[in-house]
Amino acid sequence: MSLTLEQRPKRDAEPRRESRRPRRRLRRASSSSADSMVWTTAGSLALCLIAIVGLLALCFVKGSATFWQKPIVQLELTSGSSVMGEVTREEDFTAEDGTTMRRRLLRLGNYELTGEHFRWVRDDEIDSESEPEWALVLERRQVLERSQTGPFFGFPQAFLIDGEAVATEPGEIWKLFQEQHDASTARQRERQSLEKHDVGATNRMTEAARLELRTVELEHGAESTEWAAQEQEYRRIAREASVQYDAVRAHIDDLNEENRRFELAMRTADGAEQRTPLADIVRAVPANRMGFTGGVAVYFSRWREFLLDDPREANSAGGVFPAIFGTVAMTLIMTLLVVPFGVLAALYMKEYAKQGFLISAVRIAVNNLAGVPSIVFGVFGLGFFCYFLGVSVDELFFGTQLPNPTFGKGGILWASLTLALLTLPVVIVATEEALAAVPSSMREGSYACGATRWQTIRRIVLPRALPGIMTGVILSISRGAGEVAPLMLVGAVKLAPELPVDGVFPFVHAQRSFMHLGFHIYDLGFQSQNSEAAKPMVFTTTLLLIGIIVLLNVVAIRVRSRLRARFSSVHV
């Protein structure tokens, strides 16, 4: 008894001492692990921020610098030749003999003369270096269709009217150029407009008559009297069209004639001479003598062209307006398609269907749909929309135009539908969550007033869930506008100056292919004949695409916050 009494406190004391220490250690460990969680969470957020800010900053810095005109340098080489261009990059490198020296990548113009776009120039090759005052950069309209000739660097030699040099001194030439350039650009634009609209109209006239004839042929056969009558009609319209065409052509020829009178003679750094018609010059930039204000003017003029004009030089220069239009139009059509479908589907799943295995399975399937690679949607869109639906539509309604497909190929409608499918899960999930967040007390209140289920949904549940649904819409816009892979299969193309909406009946052409900024970026970066020259445009286009997505989102977010303000209660 006494033994046990003696032993007891000892036994008690020992484990207590043992247990106290680990406990203290434990407490410390837990508090330090809490600290480490702060660091871990903050660290991962910082990592995300660095990635996002870095990407945005890269796009912004590189993208906004594209249109800034750098000085033109002329390098006299030890070999005796002379090169002139814009320095795009420079780096240090180790030469064969082990010395480190600098080399610069020079953007050379005059591709049609030199056959070179870029050239590395080592410092030890250079005899002397200068920035000549009268170095001019000529940005030209396509010299060859769909080719990339790049700018022309040179010195003004003479201003020619009707082949006669009226000025030979650079200052005078520049003055005359500025006087005449606007007029010749206006003539050039008028010519383009005539070619696009008036010639297009005569073509459409004959095409419509031909289709009419074809319809009659399909109905009555090629030997029938109706066909013969229709053929007469067709010939008459074709004659009329050709008369109209000749008139337009004559007008165009006049304009061309007038434009050919004005030419600018230029001399390159190595002495070659070339004459360029004024109408082919988009912009002449006296890079080394325009000063800061002139630089700013050129910078904004280039941005303007970028945002509002068609591309030139195989997409690597000029504007991206068709791509902006295509991106925005496709995103809006996609939103219009996906929101009603997604919301209705979510409504059924949440409000009407009996919750059970089947609905759970559907929900899982919808969530999985979000994980399907987007190219798979593209393949599906091509197979189902273009080749099945589109071909059926063609057979039913556009039989006369066969074998030319109307809807049986990629187009903005099919692309929008494909992306609508792609973003459907986003909308469904967001809508379901928004519906679940509507307090059941509101539903009950409505039912107690004698409202039917649909009245309750329409008047109470949907308005209340709208901000949440808008979140889904915002997410789907971001996802849809930035998607490229499926578009390559269902309608985005390299060049489509004809917009899906224009002034020609029926005004909306849902079957047309379209340009898309995302695809444009891919095309510039990887499909270009001269990717080094297209690189700055990649950044600028990316910047623009991000800007457009941000803009669309800001609009949606503002709508959402207005809705939220309507439903927020001061009294919770």
Partner 1 sequence: MLRCSGDPLPGAAAGAPATASVHEGMPSGTSSIGGVFESVSRGAPFETETHEALGGEEAVVGIEDFNLSYGDTQALFGVDMCVPRGKVTALIGPSGCGKSTLLRSVNRMNDLIDGVHTDGRMTLNGDSIYGRSVDVIELRKRIGMVFQKPNPFPMSIYENVVYSLRIDGVRDKQLLDEVCEESLRGAGLWDEAKDRLQSNALRMSGGQQQRLCIARAIAAEPEVLLLDEPCSALDPIATGKVEDLIDELRGHYSILMVTHNMQQASRTSDYTAFMYLGRLVEYGPTGDIFMQPRLRETEDYVTGRFG
Interaction of residue 562 with partner 1, rule CB under 8 A: no
Provide the CB-side half-sphere exposure for 532 (13 A, CA). 13
Q: What angle in degrees, to the nearest 10, is found between the helix axes of 412-436 and 357-369?
A: 130
**Least CB distance to partner 1 at residue 488 (A):** 44
Number of residues that bind partner 1 (CB under 8 A): 25
Q: How far apart are CA 231 and CA 222, in angstroms?
A: 10
- Answer yes or no: are the C-beta atoms of 517 and 547 closer than 8 Å: no
Query: Token pair for residue 447?
Result: 């039912």
Does the protein bind partner 1 through residue 455 (CB under 8 A)?
yes
Backbone angles phi, psi at 477, to 5 degrees: -65, -50
Angstrom distance (rounded) from CA 413 to CA 24: 68
Question: Does residue number 442 form part of the binding site for partner 1 (CB under 8 A)?
Answer: yes
Of the residues 100, 448, 505, 507, which one makes contact with partner 1 according to CB under 8 A = 448
Q: Which of 127, 226, 444, 532 binds partner 1 (CB under 8 A)?
A: 444
Contact pick of 451, 493, 510, 559 for partner 1 (by CB under 8 A): 451
Nearest Cα to Cα of residue 86 among 60, 109, 61, 55: 109
Q: In the range 131-160, which residues lie near partner 1 by CB under 8 A? A: none
Nearer to partner 1, 112 or 351 (CB): 351
In this structure, the strands spanning 281-285 and 100-108 are: unpaired
559 touching partner 1, by CB under 8 A: no
Window 411-440: contact mask with partner 1 (x via CB under 8 A): ----------------------------x-
CB atoms within 10 A of CB 370: 14
Least separation, in Å, of the C-beta of 433 and partner 1?
17
Tell how far CA 160 is from the center of its chain: 40
Binding partner 1 by CB under 8 A: which of 4, 293, 396, 571? 571
**Span from 137-145, 240-248, 400-408, 453-461 in contact with partner 1 (CB under 8 A):** 453-461
Residues ≥6 apart with Cβ < 8 Å to 549? 477, 478, 481, 482
Burial class (CB in 10 A: 0-12, 13-18, 19+), 37: exposed
79 binds partner 1 (CB under 8 A): no
Piece of the chain touching partner 1 by CB under 8 A; list 140-148, 308-316, 329-337, 445-453: 445-453
Q: 294 and 284 in contact (C-beta within 8 Å)?
A: no
Q: How many CA atoms lie within 13 A of 256 on its CB side?
A: 9
* CB 351 to partner 1: min, Å: 12
Answer for which of 459, 529, 551, 558 binds partner 1 (CB under 8 A) is: 459
CA distance 556 to 348: 25
Q: Is 449 in the site for partner 1 (CB under 8 A)?
A: yes
**What letter represents residue 527's amino acid?**
Q
| Residues 60-95 as b or e (16 or more Cβ within 10 Å = b) | bebbeebbebeebbbbbeeeeebbbbbeeeeeeeee
| One of 43, 71, 340, 445 touching partner 1 (CB under 8 A) | 445
- Shortest separation between residue 356's beta carbon and partner 1, angstroms: 10
Q: Which runs of E-coded beta strand occur in 207-337?
A: 262-267, 273-277, 281-285, 311-312, 317-318
Nearer to partner 1, 237 or 563 (CB): 563
Interface mask (CB under 8 A) for partner 1, residues 361-400, using x and -?
Answer: ----------------------------------------
Eight-class DSSP state of 309: S
> Smaller CB distance to partner 1: residue 114 or 455?
455
CA 338 from chain center: how many Å? Answer: 21
Residue 2 within binding range of partner 1, rule CB under 8 A? no
- Residue 226 or residue 444: which is nearer to partner 1 going by CB? 444
Q: Which stretch binds partner 1 (CB under 8 A): 101-109, 223-231, 446-454, 526-534?
A: 446-454
Does the protein bind partner 1 through residue 570 (CB under 8 A)?
yes
Among 2, 99, 100, 441, interactor with partner 1 by CB under 8 A: 441
In contact, 91 and 97? CB cutoff 8 Å: no
Site track 295-334 with partner 1 (rule: CB under 8 A), x = hit: ----------------------------------------
CB hemisphere CA count around 569 (13 angstroms): 4
165 binds partner 1 (CB under 8 A): no
Residues of this chain that interact with partner 1 (CB under 8 A) are: 354, 439, 441-452, 455, 459-460, 463-464, 566-571
